[in-house]
Amino acid sequence: MSRLLPPGSLDISWDHNSHYHGHLLRHVPPHCTRALDVGCGGGRFARVLASRGIAVDAIDPSPRIISTAREWTPSRLPVEYRAASLEEADPVPEGYGFVSAISSIHHMPFGPSLGRMAAALAPGGTLAVLGLYREESAADVATSLAALGPQWAIGAGMGLGRLLTGVPDLHSVGPTAEMPVCDPRMSLREIAVEAAERLPGARLRRLLFWRYSLLYTRPA
């Protein structure tokens, strides 16, 4: 990790995932005290959850990424990081009021991973997946084209902010700079079919910026 700036520095970065943090947070149950963040990467969303007073177990299979996430997380925040895959972590059944997976489930077997995360939910708990999908239809292409204008506008604004403040892009020198990437294999149609089978009642929504959200609340 770059030493151009210390952990905890002003973060005026933006990406397709952080754009939807607010959308996911609106679905955290009111009395949630414990959360699981699957594929936490640099820990950005885990820190957001912990700043709301929620104890967070954050897992990622990369020891190097977990080390970086720990370094960038203030000790006052209740986040427990572990270098492990979802299968290795074997979450406690019904142990969490909220489970999140942000741009990570396409790195894992989709159906079994949904099942494991749903099993970790306490009754009334919510699973929130922010995922990527493979373009397949004309609607997919149209949504991608519609995202280009906002992406350019936001990118230009963020670039101007960094220029005025002198703060570098944390995606280049911060905790997400070394995040692994891979292309999604499943289309939105395939995701909908699999989710309906695994999680009856789950709500799938197409989003801008090549993302979808999948929300599931375990019956109380």
Show the domains of the chain with their CATH numbers.
18-134+180-218 (3.40.50.150)
Among the listed residues 1, 152, 125, 136, the one whose alpha carbon sits nearest the alpha carbon of residue 69: 1
Q: Which helix (H) or strand (E) holds 4?
A: none
Contact 10, 165 (CB under 8 A): yes
pLDDT higher than 90, residue 169: no
How does residue 208 score in pLDDT terms, banded at 50, 70 and 90?
Answer: confident
Judged by phi (left if over 0) then psi (alpha if -120 to 50, else beta), residue 90 lies in left
Q: Checking DSSP bridges between strand 55-60 and strand 203-207, what pairing results, if any?
A: unpaired
Contact 58, 37 (CB under 8 A): yes
Give percent above pLDDT 70 in the chain.
Answer: 79
| CB crowding 155-171: b at 16 or more within 10 Å, else e | eeebeeebeeeebbbbb
pLDDT higher than 60, residue 136: yes
Rounded Cα distance, 144 and 148, in Å: 7
Mean pLDDT along residues 17-21:
91
